[in-house]
């Protein structure tokens, strides 16, 4: 059996419990309470029961806590979908909107979303829904 990774020495169980009480993030509070139990001398398996997770997750929490402190126990924001357009393309669209369409070239007298989506496809070969 391997030796557990020690928790950082600049915190105590009472501090973690106080932070858990103050936080508005439920998962962070649960993680803080599990780590507070470890500071109090509980086994990692007991902390896993408190946190409702397995031993591997407790290890991950310890690593995150050691690296970034209590903020390391917050869930990060998902990065989401990457943007279809780069900055140069966005500036080109801004210029096109500011100058307005040329009726003889674009076939419209004012931009509608569907017209801009069509122009983006013709210019950059990128398909964008009008809801975007």
0.75 surpassed by pTM: no
Given this model, what pLDDT does residue 1 score? 56
Separation CA 4–CA 87 (nearest Å): 47
Separation CA 65–CA 48 (nearest Å): 15
Contact 101, 109 (CB under 8 A): yes
Q: Residue 48 burial by CB count (10 A; 0-12/13-18/19+): exposed, middle or buried?
A: buried
Q: Is the pLDDT of residue 3 over 70?
A: yes
Given this model, what pLDDT does residue 103 score? 87
Question: What are the DSSP calls for 6-24, one per residue?
Answer: PPPTT--HHHHHHHHHH-S
Given this model, what pLDDT does residue 50 score? 93
- Rounded to 5 degrees, φ, ψ at 108 are -135, 155
Q: How many residues does the chain have?
A: 132
> Which of 68, 46, 64 shows the shortest CA–CA distance to 55?
46
Q: Is the pLDDT of residue 41 over 60?
A: yes
Given this model, what pLDDT does residue 57 score? 95
Mean pLDDT of 15-42: 95
Count of alpha carbons within 13 Å of 10, Cβ hemisphere only? 6
Residue 20 in tokens:
């858990």
Q: Is the pLDDT of residue 24 over 60?
A: yes
Q: Is the pLDDT of residue 2 over 80?
A: no
Q: Is the pLDDT of residue 25 over 90?
A: yes
């Amino acid at each position: 059996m391997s030796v557990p990774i020690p928790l950082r020495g600049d915190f105590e169980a009472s501090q973690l419990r106080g932070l858990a009480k103050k936080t508005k993030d439920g998962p962070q509070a649960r993680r803080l309470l599990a780590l507070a139990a470890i500071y109090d001398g509980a086994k990692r398996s007991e902390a896993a029961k408190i946190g409702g997770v397995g031993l591997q997750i407790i290890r991950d929490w310890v690593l995150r806590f050691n690296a970034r402190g209590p903020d390391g126990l917050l869930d990060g924001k998902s990065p989401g979908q990457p943007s279809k357009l780069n900055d140069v393309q966005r500036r080109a669209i801004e210029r096109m909107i500011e100058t307005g369409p040329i009726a003889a070239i674009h076939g419209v007298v004012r931009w509608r979303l569907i017209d801009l989506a069509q122009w983006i496809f013709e210019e950059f070969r990128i398909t964008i829904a009008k809801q975007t």
